[in-house]
């Protein structure tokens, strides 16, 4: 059975748009990216199963937005954009690499759904209740997952 893209759009469209806004920081681009997410869903509709739609749409939205950002980095629209991208790209590469490695080790030790919970709550700013509703857990289940992530992170930092 294929997914009902129209129902997904009505139910998850606001979540996808929030994610796109967070990553792209520009309303017009975020709306375009959100539409691209659902176009991809339409394109592969027959191959998809109706399981874990929130996580699936979150991953698609993240990839679509990151691809847009990478594309903008390769071909800035004007000189001001190029300067902003240079400033954003500069920084402590070593610290960024270390943080990325720590996150890889952290998320390698926990279920993928815990990663989704962390992103929805800590990055996207959703409340515990909103996060619980999106991932299909109780609020106490979300708290338990976040505590477990915190414990693993403290263990990794101590090592």
Confidence band (pLDDT; 50, 70, 90) for 74?
A: low
* Choice among 75-79, 99-103, 129-133, 135-139 with the minimum mean pLDDT: 75-79
Angle, alpha carbons 134-139-142 (nearest 5°): 75
- What is the rounded CA–CA span in Å between residue 95 and residue 34? 31
Task: Say which residues have a Cβ less than 8 Å from residue 153's Cβ, sequence separation at least 6.
Answer: 102, 106
CA atoms of 33 and 103, how far apart (whole Å): 26
The dihedrals phi and psi of 32, each to the nearest 5 degrees, come to: -60, -45
pTM: 0.48
Sign of CA dihedral 8, 25, 70, 119: negative
CATH node for 82-158: 1.10.10.10
Question: Do 1-74 and 82-158 share a fold?
Answer: no
- Predicted pLDDT of residue 36: 93
So where are the chain's domains? 1-74, 82-158
Once rounded to an integer, what is the mean pLDDT over residues 62-72? 81
d(CA 116, CA 121): 8
Neighbours of 78 (CB within 10 A): 8
Cα distance between the two ends of the chain: 47
Matching residue, tokens 């937005």: 65
**Tens-digit pLDDT profile for residues 80-97:** 445 444 444 545 666 667
* Mean pLDDT value of segment 2-14: 88
- Looking at 1.20.1070, 1.10.287, 3.30.70, 1.10.1740, the CATH number of the domain 1-74 comes to 1.10.1740
* C-alpha span between 5 and 43 (Å, rounded): 10
Cβ contact 19:124 at 8 Å: yes
14 confidence band (pLDDT: 50, 70, 90): very high
């Amino acid at each position: 059975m294929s997914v009902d893209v129209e129902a997904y759009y009505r139910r998850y469209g606001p979540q996808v748009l929030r994610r796109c806004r967070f990553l792209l920081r520009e309303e017009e681009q975020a709306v375009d990216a959100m539409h691209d997410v659902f176009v991809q869903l339409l394109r592969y509709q027959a191959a998809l199963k109706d399981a874990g739609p929130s996580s699936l749409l979150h991953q698609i939205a993240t990839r679509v937005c990151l691809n847009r950002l990478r594309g903008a980095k390769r071909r800035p629209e004007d000189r001001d954009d190029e300067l902003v991208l240079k400033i954003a790209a500069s920084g402590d590469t070593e610290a960024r690499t270390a943080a990325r490695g720590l996150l890889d080790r952290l998320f390698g030790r926990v279920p993928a759904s815990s990663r989704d919970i962390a992103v929805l709550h800590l990055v996207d700013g959703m409340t515990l209740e909103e996060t619980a509703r999106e991932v299909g857990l109780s609020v106490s289940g979300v708290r338990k997952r976040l505590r477990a992530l915190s414990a693993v992170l403290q263990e990794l930092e101590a090592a």
